[in-house]
């Protein structure tokens, strides 16, 4: 009785030590030195970004004397010594924290929501419609990215002070609108949406038009739902500057009832400066930013990888 061996390369054949498939797998495996180097680099990056946050959180639990006493040693990053929540209690006694927090939430939510709508519509027109000057308009929009806000602050202040308001008065000073409307349109958000919309197959638009859909319906029902990662990225990148606004509210808002959280830091620099209270205040206003990023980090990374780095 004779047995027939499986031919080389067949599905049932087991790769031997010298077979090409095993060599390919072995070549693809990183060496031990490279693996150690990768994890070491990642650990260093984590420490660079995490240690300042850890120092802020730990210092918010310590009195000022201990904060300065622990600086220069590893104890600055450890919750040791005189630990308490007194700094957090003092924050709520010193400033109207919930009023500032509510103002920042209102400003940020409206800026993000309206920004996604306006910037995505502009990007859709540039990416899907064909008209003369389209490339020039896109180039001008992208060119505005190099202009810092500080150079526009004074001209913008002059303009908003001359605009008519709803009640017939002149000037938008000391309102929510002056903190929201100038920041709805954003060049980087338009460019990011443009890159993402341009990667969506145009055959979807053509099929929808055959079914009788108009331009806005195609944008609202087809293109925008497919741009989830881009929307998440724009939401994060719009929320951060809206939440961190300091210079502009300081220029246009006088009443305490309309001030955002960043302006509230100035309250702790008056008279006696308490660094423990400043750290507590900073910890409280950082929580919403971290929560937003944790919720949208997967979509954020996906959008940057798929559209944000395209030429």
Beta-bridged to residue 29, according to DSSP, are: none
Residue 92: per-residue pLDDT: 93
How much is the pLDDT for 286?
92
Q: Which pLDDT does position 9 carry in this prediction?
A: 46
Q: What per-residue confidence (pLDDT) applies to 49?
A: 85
Short-list 145, 232, 195, CA closest to 306: 195
Q: Mean of the pLDDT values across residues 38-58?
A: 89
Mean pLDDT within 229-246: 91
pLDDT band at 16, cuts 50/70/90?
A: low
Q: Would you kindly state where each structural domain of the chain is located, as residue ranges?
A: 30-84, 95-308
d(CA 210, CA 225): 20
Of 164, 192, 168, 188, which is closest to residue 178 (Cα–Cα)? 164
Check: pTM over 0.85? Answer yes or no: no
Give me the pLDDT at residue 285, please. Answer: 93
Q: What is the pLDDT of residue 106?
A: 96
Which position has the higher pLDDT, 18 or 218?
A: 218
pLDDT category of residue 30 using cuts at 50, 70 and 90: low
Please report the pLDDT score of residue 166 as a whole number. Answer: 83
Q: Report the pLDDT value the prediction gives residue 189, as an integer from 0 to 100.
A: 95
Computed over every residue of the chain, the mean pLDDT equals 85
Cβ–Cβ under 8 Å, residues 238 and 115: yes
Q: Is residue 39 packed enough to be buried (19+ CB in 10 Å), middle (13-18) or exposed (0-12)?
A: exposed
Residue 144: predicted pLDDT: 92
C-alpha to C-alpha distance for 108 and 243, rounded to whole angstroms? 6
Share of the chain above pLDDT 90, in %: 52
pLDDT at position 247, please?
Answer: 93
Range 236-248 average pLDDT: 92
More confident residue, 45 or 301: 45
Architecture of domain 95-308: Orthogonal Bundle (1.10)
pLDDT of residue 32: 80
Cα separation, 296 vs 298, whole angstroms: 6
Query: What pLDDT does 61 receive?
Result: 93
Share of the chain above pLDDT 70, in %: 86
pLDDT in tens, 244-260: 999 999 999 999 999 99
The secondary structure of the chain, three-state, reads CCCCCCCCCCCCCCCCCCCHHHHHHHHHCCCHHHHHHHHHHHHHHHHHHHHHHHHHHHHCCCCHHHHHHHCCCHHHHCCCCCCCCHHHHHHHHHCCHHHHHHHHHHHHHHHHHHHHHHHHHHHHHHHHCCCCCHHHHHHHHHHHHHCCHHHHHHHHHHHHCCCECCCCCECCCCCCHHHHHHHCCCHHHHHHHHHHHHCCCCHHHHHHHHCCCCHHHHHHHHHHHHCHHHHHHHHHHHHHHHHCCCHHHHHHCCCHHHCCCCHHHHHHHCCCCCHHHHHHHHHHHHHHHHHHHHHHHHHHHHHHHHHHCCC
* pLDDT tens-place string over residues 87-99: 999 999 999 999 9
Whole-number Å distance between alpha carbons of 262 and 285: 8
The predicted-structure confidence for 192-214, as pLDDT tens digits, reads as follows: 999 999 989 999 989 999 989 89
Average confidence (pLDDT) over 294-307: 68
Residue 136 in this model has a pLDDT that exceeds 90: yes
Which range has the worst mean pLDDT, 22-36, 127-141, 292-306?
A: 22-36
Q: How confident is the model at residue 303 (pLDDT cuts 50, 70, 90)?
A: low
- Which pLDDT score is estimated for 272? 80
Confidence of residue 309 (pLDDT cuts 50, 70, 90): very low
């Amino acid at each position: 009785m004779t047995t027939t061996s499986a031919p080389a390369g067949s599905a049932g054949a087991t790769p031997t030590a010298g077979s090409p498939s095993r060599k390919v797998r072995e070549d693809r495996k990183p060496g031990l030195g490279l693996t150690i180097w990768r994890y070491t680099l990642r650990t260093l990056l984590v420490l660079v970004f995490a240690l300042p946050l850890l120092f802020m959180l730990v210092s918010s639990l310590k009195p000022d004397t201990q904060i300065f006493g622990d600086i220069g040693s590893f104890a600055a990053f450890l919750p040791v010594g005189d630990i308490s929540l007194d700094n957090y209690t003092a924050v709520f006694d010193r400033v109207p924290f919930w009023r500032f927090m509510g103002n920042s939430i209102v400003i940020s939510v409206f800026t993000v929501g309206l920004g996604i709508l306006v910037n995505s519509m502009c990007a859709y027109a540039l990416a899907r419609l064909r008209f003369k000057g389209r490339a020039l308009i896109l180039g001008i929009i992208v060119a505005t990215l190099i202009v810092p806000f500080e150079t526009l602050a004074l001209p913008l202040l002059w303009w908003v002070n001359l605009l008519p308001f709803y009640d017939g008065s002149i000037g938008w000073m000391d309102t929510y609108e002056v903190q929201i409307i100038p920041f709805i349109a954003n060049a980087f958000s338009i460019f990011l949406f443009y890159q993402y919309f341009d990667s969506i197959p145009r055959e979807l638009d053509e099929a929808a038009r055959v079914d009788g859909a108009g331009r806005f319906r195609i944008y609202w029902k087809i293109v925008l739902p497919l741009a989830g990662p881009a929307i998440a990225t724009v939401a994060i990148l719009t929320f951060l500057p809206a939440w961190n606004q300091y210079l502009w509210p300081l220029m246009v808002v006088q009443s305490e009832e309309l001030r955002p959280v960043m302006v509230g830091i100035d309250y702790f620099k008056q008279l006696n400066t308490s660094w423990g209270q400043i750290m507590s205040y900073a910890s409280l206003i950082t929580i919403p930013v971290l929560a937003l990023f944790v919720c949208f980090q997967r979509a954020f990374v996906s959008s940057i990888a798929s559209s944000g780095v395209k030429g």
